[in-house]
């Protein structure tokens, strides 16, 4: 049985993966002559330089 929390986490991770792939396509469009390794480097640099999207509040973990 899957918990609602597990479902939300799964959905969030899928959205994050989708966003990364969209950025990869964006970088490929902006740098058409770049190699796959170069695109990977640009993507890693972009990811490393990003501020947290929502530092927000810290919530304690609850037992389910």
17-43 confidence digits (pLDDT tens): 999 999 999 999 999 999 999 999 999
Q: How far apart are CA 40 and CA 48, in angstroms?
A: 12
Per-residue DSSP letter, 4: H
Phi-psi region of 36 (alpha: psi -120 to 50; beta: other; left: phi over 0): alpha
pTM: 0.71
State how far the Cα of 38 lies from the Cα of 47, in Å rounded to an integer: 14
For residue 64, pLDDT over 60 is answered with no
């Amino acid at each position: 049985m899957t918990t609602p929390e597990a479902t939300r986490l799964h959905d969030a991770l899928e959205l994050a993966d989708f966003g990364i792939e969209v950025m990869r396509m964006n970088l490929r469009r902006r740098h058409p002559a770049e190699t796959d390794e170069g695109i990977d480097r640009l993507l890693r640099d972009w990811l490393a330089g990003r501020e947290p999207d929502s530092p927000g509040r810290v919530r304690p973990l609850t037992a389910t």
